[in-house]
Amino acid sequence: MVCTHAMMLAQNKYKKHMEEEVIINVEHLDKMYKLYNRQRDRMKEALGLTRGRQLYKEHYALKDVSMQVRKGETVGIIGTNGSGKSTILKIITGVLSPTAGNVEINGRISALLELGAGFNMEFTGIENVYLNGTMNGFSEEEIDSKLQDILDFADIGEFINQQVKTYSSGMFVRLAFALAINIDPEILVVDEALSVGDVFFQNKCYHKFEEFKKAGKTILFVSHDLSSISKYCDRVVLLNHGEKMAEGKPKEIIDMYKKVLVNQTTSAMSGSEKVGEDGRLAGSLNRNVKDGLWKSYLTLNPSNDTYGSGLAEIEDFCLIDNTGNITNTVIKGDSFSVKVKTKYHADISEPIIAVSFKNRMGVEITGTNTMFEKLATGECKDGDEIVATFTQKMMLQGGDYLISLGLVGYREGNFTVYHRMYDIFNVQVISSKDTVGYYDMDSEVQLFKNGKEI
C-alpha cells in the first residue's frame, strides 16, 4: 500500500513537472476560411440576405491540429505549400484568430514572420525601433538598454536616422530582423526569416539562432530548408493539407515528407514508387499514370529550356534515392541515381547520354556522360531504347541544385544535339553538416592531445 501510494505521488509529481515544462500548447486547432464565388455573395451574407442558404465553400487551412512545445525545445514544422505552416504560426503569435480550438502560451514571444509588418514608413529607423519595442511591451528604458545591440546587428550605419521609406529592401529586413531578434524573448517563432539579406547577414542570423538554442530558448521554426530543419530541430511536425500527419525525430519525419513531395504531382498514389533494374516502375501504380512515366513523380521546372533535332529524344527520367524511391530530395552522404530513358527515331551511331548539376546561380558544379565513363552505346536503330543509370554518392553541400539532361553525338562528322533539357528538375540536398565550397571532401579527421587520441 505504501509502495503504491509512493508511486502515485511520483507519477503526479512527474505529470505536474511535464505540464509546467509545456510552453506552447495547441489543442484541436481549426482555421476555416469562407470562399465565395462572387463578391456580391459576401455582401449578401454580411447584410443577412442569404435566406438561409450557404453562399460559400468552407476551406480548412487547419483541421484539428494539436501539438505541444516544451521549454528549451527547437521544434520544426514542415509541409508543402498550403499545408497550414504559416497559418498555425500566425495563430500562435496572435496575428490570426482560430475558428475552433485553443492555444496557450507561457512566455514572451518574438515572431519573425512578416518582417517589418509593424513599421511606419514615414518614421526613421530609430523611431520604428522605439515604436515596435513599445508595441512589444518594453519601456523606453528597456529599449535604451537594447538599442546598441539592435544597431550593431542591423549594421545599416547612418540610415538608421533616415525615413524607412528610403531604405533598400535589404536594409529594411536587416533592421526588422535585428529588432525582432534582440528583444530577449523566451520563445522565438521563425517563418523562413533566416534567408533574408546577403550571405554575410544570413551567417550572422544563423549564429544568433544558435546562441538562442544554446541559451535554452524555445524555438518554433518553419522552413523549406530541410538541411536547417535537420541540423537545428529536436523534433519535427509534418502538416499536410491542414492536418497533422506525423511528428518525431527530424530524420524520420523528413523521410516521410519526401514521400509527400513525391505524391504532390499525382493524387491518390499507392505508396512508394520504385524503379527496377529493368527500367520499369515496380510495385502497384495509380491506374491514371502510365507505366514508365517516372517524371510524373517529380517536381519539374515549368520554364525549362528544351530543344533538339528530334532524331532521338529523352523519353523519361527520374532521380532515385538509396531506398529506390523517386524523389526530388537526397540526404547528403547517401547514394542516389539519375535514370534517363532515351528513344531513337533514326539510325544513330554511339549517342552520348549526359547529366549535369548547377547551383541556383546557374554555375555548373559537376556532371558526366556515357563517353566520359567510357561506355559504348553502339549502333541504335529506329525504335530502339536505351536506359542509362548514373549512380553516385551525394557529396554536394546542403541546398538546391538544378539538373540538366542531354542526348548528343556525331552524325556525318558533325556534332548534333538530338535532345537537351536544361534545368529540367531540381534536387534538394539535405545536410546536417556542411563544409567550405561546393562539395564535401568527406575527410576522416583524427585529433591527438598530449599524445593521446581524442
Say whether pLDDT at 218 is over 60: yes
pLDDT of residue 348: 96
Rounded to whole angstroms, how far apart are CA atoms 156 and 128? 14
Rounded to whole angstroms, how far apart are CA atoms 8 and 15? 10
Rounded to whole angstroms, how far apart are CA atoms 257 and 240? 9
pLDDT of residue 314: 97
Lowest mean pLDDT among 206-220, 271-285, 335-349: 271-285
Cell of 443: 575527410
Q: H or E element: which one contains 154?
A: helix 140-154
pLDDT of residue 181: 79
- Mean pLDDT, range 364-381, rounded to an integer: 95
Say whether pLDDT at 169 is over 90: no
Select from 339, 354, 365, 368 the least CA-distant residue to 429: 365
- What confidence category does residue 286 fall into, taking pLDDT thresholds of 50, 70 and 90? very low
List, for residues 415-449, the tens digit of each pLDDT value.
999 999 999 999 989 887 788 888 888 888 887 76
Averaged confidence pLDDT in the chain: 84
Q: Alpha carbon 310 to chain centroid distance?
A: 37
What residue ranges define each of the domains in the chain, with the CATH number in brackets?
23-258 (3.40.50.300), 271-282+289-430 (2.70.50.60)
pLDDT of residue 268: 34
Say whether pLDDT at 368 is over 80: yes
In the block, residue with C-alpha cell 462572387: 38
Task: Dump the DSSP string for 173-233.
Answer: HHHHHHHHHTS--SEEEEESGGG-S-HHHHHHHHHHHHHHHHTT-EEEEE-S-HHHHHHH-
Q: Alpha carbon 358 to chain centroid distance?
A: 19
pLDDT of residue 14: 43
- Of the chain, the percentage scoring pLDDT greater than 70 comes to 85
Select from 387, 37, 78, 85 the least CA-distant residue to 259: 78
List, for residues 227-251, the tens digit of each pLDDT value.
788 888 999 999 999 999 999 999 8
- Of the chain, the percentage scoring pLDDT greater than 90 comes to 44
pLDDT of residue 210: 84
Cell of 120: 511606419
Rounded to whole angstroms, how far apart are CA atoms 361 and 317? 23
Q: H or E element: which one contains 313?
A: strand 312-320
pLDDT of residue 271: 39
Rounded to whole angstroms, how far apart are CA atoms 415 and 339? 24
The pairs formed by 88-94 with CB atoms below 8 angstroms and a separation of 24 or more are 88/26, 88/29, 88/31, 88/62, 88/239, 89/113, 89/189, 89/191, 89/220, 89/222, 91/29, 91/31, 91/62, 92/24, 92/26, 92/189, 92/220, 93/189
Contact 311, 414 (CB under 8 A): no
pLDDT of residue 34: 85
List, for residues 54-107, the tens digit of each pLDDT value.
887 888 999 999 999 999 999 999 998 889 998 999 999 888 999 999 999 998
Say whether pLDDT at 345 is over 80: yes
Say whether pLDDT at 364 is over 70: yes
- Give whole-number Cα distances, 112 to 19, 143, 195, 221, 272, in Å: 27, 18, 11, 10, 36
Rounded to whole angstroms, how far apart are CA atoms 69 and 155? 33
Say whether pLDDT at 2 is over 60: no
Contact 298, 328 (CB under 8 A): yes
Say whether pLDDT at 282 is over 70: no
Rounded to whole angstroms, how far apart are CA atoms 322 and 336? 5
- Mean pLDDT, range 127-149, rounded to an integer: 87
Decide which of 62 and 5 is more confident. Answer: 62
Task: Dump the DSSP string for 351-400.
Answer: -EEEEEEE-TTS-EEEEEETTTTT----EE-TT-EEEEEEEEE--BPSEE
- Of the spans 117-126, 192-201, 280-289, which averages the highest pLDDT? 117-126
- What confidence category does residue 317 fall into, taking pLDDT thresholds of 50, 70 and 90? very high
Backbone angles phi, psi at 115, to 5 degrees: -60, 130
Rounded to whole angstroms, how far apart are CA atoms 287 and 175? 53
Backbone angles phi, psi at 353, to 5 degrees: -105, 130
Select from 29, 26, 61, 14 the least CA-distant residue to 187: 26
Task: Dump the DSSP string for 37-99.
Answer: SSHHHHHHHHTT-STT---EEEEEEEEEEEEEEETT-EEEEE-STTSSHHHHHHHHTTSS--S
- Identity at 302, one-letter amino acid code: P
pLDDT of residue 272: 46
- What confidence category does residue 270 fall into, taking pLDDT thresholds of 50, 70 and 90? very low
pLDDT of residue 315: 96
- Mean pLDDT, range 219-224, rounded to an integer: 87
Lowest mean pLDDT among 23-27, 245-249, 271-275, 344-348: 271-275
pTM for the model stands at 0.65
pLDDT of residue 61: 92
- Mean pLDDT, range 388-393, rounded to an integer: 96
